[in-house]
Amino acid sequence: MFHKEGAKIILGSVIVTVALILLADYIIPAQLHWLKTFVQVVMLVFLIIVLQFFRNPKRNVDAIEDHLILAPVDGKVVVIEEVFEPEYFKDKRLMVSIFMSPINVHVTRYALNGMVKYSKYHPGKYLVAWHPKASEENERTTVVIDNPVFGEVMYRQIAGALAKRIVNYAKEGQRAIQGEDAGFIKFGSRVDLYLPLGTKLNVELKQKAKGNKTVIAIK
């Protein structure tokens, strides 16, 4: 199953791959069979990479719970620290950052239930996603969800060096349902969660997170 955000890129990649495979078969002489095979294999690998990047595995939440915050994306937990959040809260929050490599699923899912209180897109740079200034200077979206147990929780989609488009489905006044698609980041990125200080975490640094399955915090 593939995400709808990849439809045009997947279609274009299939057309280009098929065209180049047929072209290689037509123009490369028979005595250069190794070159023909190399070109065709490279194109197939390219297509496989594109397909796996836009995959959208079906992952139902086991049980929707207000007292749980689930991982919004697949990736690795790279930061757990108290930081000052200047955009919305303007005070200290507990930040949990999940970095997505190009081979991870890049669907962003709602980590918790609640009402969308704030949703804003920021144009910006394309520093590598793990850069300390990425959360402030890169292209990003900021979303705040008001949850009945945790209160207001923010998540931020951050573009990386390869990411050229962030898709955000959250709209102010809309209800966020834990586990449903909240957006997509194309080609490399990270997602930061900003939680109230004192939140009991269920993850640690360098742990692999799985969207809709790994419990980030519990109350």
Residue matched to tokens 């939140």: 199
Tell me: the pLDDT tens digits for 191-203?
999 999 999 999 9
Tell me: the pLDDT tens digits for 74-115?
999 999 999 999 999 999 999 999 998 877 877 899 999 999
**Residues 170, 61, 147, 203, CA torsion sign:** negative
Residue 78 CA to residue 192 CA, distance in Å, equals: 10
Q: Which of 97, 119, 135, 189 is catalytic?
A: 189
- Average pLDDT on 148-177 reads 87
pTM of the model: 0.80
Active-site residue, 97 included: no
**Residue 148, C-beta contacts closer than 8 angstroms, at least 6 positions apart:** 66, 113, 114
CATH of 68-218, one of 2.30.29, 3.40.50, 2.70.70, 1.20.58: 2.70.70
